[in-house]
Amino acid sequence: MKKLYAVLLLVCLCLCAGCGEQQVQKSDIVLDTAVTLTADGADAKAAIDESMARLKNIDGMVNPNVPDSDVCKLAQYAGSGHWVSLHPEVYKMLAFAQEYAAKTNGAFDVTTKPLVDLWGIGTDHAKVPSPQELMAAQKLVGWQKLELNEENHSARLQEKGMGVDLGGIAKGFAVDEVRQIYAKYGIKDGLINLGASSMYGLGLNKEGKSWRIGLRHPRKDDAQQKMAVLSLQDAALSTSGDYERFFEAGGVRYHHIIDPRTGRPAQSGAMSVTILADASVPDGGMLTDLLTTAVFVLGPEQGTRFLQTLPRGVEGAVVDGRYQLWTTGNMAAEMENVSEEFQFWQGSGELQ
Ligand code: ADP
Ligand code: MG
């Protein structure tokens, strides 16, 4: 870990030959994620410093380990009838989450927290819960039991023991915020990288080419083994997979994306989901982050059908257990260097 920090805290400042502009890159761990921000331009350093501060500020609102964070307050007052005043940022995330909870019939549901906590995937107390524990946690989950008041940006949870988990949306929201800070400083080229979970590629890289992002092979332990490569130019990209945080017991892979309807890690037939949203899509970072989780829960067939209902500019690829790629929009054409182990699902074209 120490080594990781040493590498991450390395601040790289280099002169871009010829143009006299500086490319600045800075890394840190925020929102439980290895974040790397890159920007090119006269104000690149100021933009990155402000962006890092903003990420830490958002972290303080959504972090369940920060006692006075909005998410802690919501859990604390759950069932009391008390409305909790929220930062506008958290209100925006919750309102967006509720809109998509309704659209996905609850496949995406931020009230899944009691189940996330019970399974503890990615923590040192991960376990397969007993049926009784599962039933008790499931009773405390349900997006209809989260009430929002738009007038004063407040919210309340109807039952004691409920909570919200913004792990499937906050990093995407944060990407959009950094994008706005980059715009304020006139940054035209840069990469906002909040782990594979959420990215935004702005303009071009140092070589004057679009940013190239490798999509991880879902069944290779080595994160460097790629399934395909995508070019990212003025677009948001998000990936979620069952290989990110998981444990295995009795031959079953228990991972961190929970199907709120079964109370268990989603067994939808998907191994990974990648979503792209171009610059025309409002809140593209938050949307792609949310959609990877939602589409994973829905599975390849229902998930790609759902993607078809969304505005133009949003497209995705779902990898199923047979290494078939279910794609929407122009995604099949945009995926480069696709590893030979994967095939495009024959119906992909028909989905258009
Ligand atoms: P990450 O980006 O951290 O890899 P994802 O974007 O795949 O994670 O989102 C998964 C996270 O979202 C989980 O760790 C959990 O905090 C939360 N989560 C899990 N299942 C759901 C769900 N069905 N709806 C909303 N949030 C979920
Ligand atoms: Mg994500």
- Are 139 and 91 within 8 A, CB to CB? no
Expressed in angstroms, the distance from the first to the final Cα of the chain is 45
Q: Which of 29, 30, 108, 116 to mutate to test the pocket of ligand 1 (most atoms within 8 A of CB)?
A: 116
Q: Among 33, 99, 111, 112, which residue has the most ligand 1 atoms within 8 Å of its CB, making it the best to mutate? A: 112
Q: Which residue lies with its CA nearest to atom 22 of ligand 1?
A: 108
**44-62 vs 170-184: helix axis angle to the nearest 10?**
150
What does DSSP assign to residue 216?
Answer: E
324-329 CB contacts, 8 Å cutoff, 24+ apart:
324/300, 326/300, 326/301, 326/351, 327/351, 328/304, 328/352, 329/276
pLDDT of residue 347: 65
**Which residues contact residue 76 at a Cβ distance below 8 angstroms, ignoring those fewer than 6 apart?**
none
Cα 328 to middle of ligand 2, angstroms: 19
Q: Give residue 268 CA to ligand 1 midpoint distance, Å.
A: 15
Give the Cα separation of 85 and 49 in Å (integer): 29
Place of tokens 């829905």: 298
- The pLDDT tens digits along the chain (352 residues) read 444 444 444 444 443 434 446 899 999 999 999 999 999 999 999 999 999 999 999 999 999 999 999 999 999 999 999 999 999 999 999 999 999 999 999 999 999 999 999 999 999 999 999 999 999 999 999 999 999 999 999 999 999 999 999 999 999 999 999 999 999 999 999 999 999 789 999 999 999 999 999 999 999 999 899 999 999 999 999 999 999 999 999 999 999 999 999 999 999 999 999 999 999 999 999 999 999 999 999 999 999 999 999 999 999 999 999 999 999 999 999 999 999 999 999 765 554 4
Tell me: is residue 304 an annotated ligand-binding position: no
Q: Give the span between the Cα atoms of 149 and 85, in whole angstroms.
A: 9
Residues 6 or more apart whose CB falls under 8 angstroms from that of 155 comprise: 74, 83, 84, 86, 91, 94, 146, 147, 148, 149
Domain locations in the chain? 23-60+168-344, 65-157
11 phi, psi to nearest 5 deg: -105, 120
Total-model pTM: 0.94
Nearest alpha-carbon partner for 342 in 247, 210, 218: 218
Contact 226, 337 (CB under 8 A): yes
Q: Is 262 marked as a binding-site residue?
A: no
Is domain 23-60+168-344 given the CATH code 3.40.50.10540 in the classification? no
The structure tokens 């009230």 sit at: 111
CATH of 65-157, one of 1.10.1760.20, 1.10.287.3510, 1.10.10.10, 1.10.3980.10: 1.10.3980.10
Mutation to probe ligand 1, out of 98, 109, 256, 288 (largest number of atoms < 8 A from CB): 256
Q: Is 289 annotated as a binding residue?
A: yes
Ligand 1, atom 15: nearest CA belongs to which residue?
167
Ligand 1 lining (C-beta closer than 6 Å): 108-110, 112, 116, 165, 167-168, 171, 197, 240, 244, 256-258, 260, 289, 292-293, 297
Report the pLDDT value the prediction gives residue 21, as an integer from 0 to 100: 62
SS3 annotation, 230-278: EEECCEEEEEEECCCCEEEECCEEEECCEECCCCEECCCCEEEEEEEEE
3-state helix, strand, coil in the chain (%, to 5): 35, 30, 40
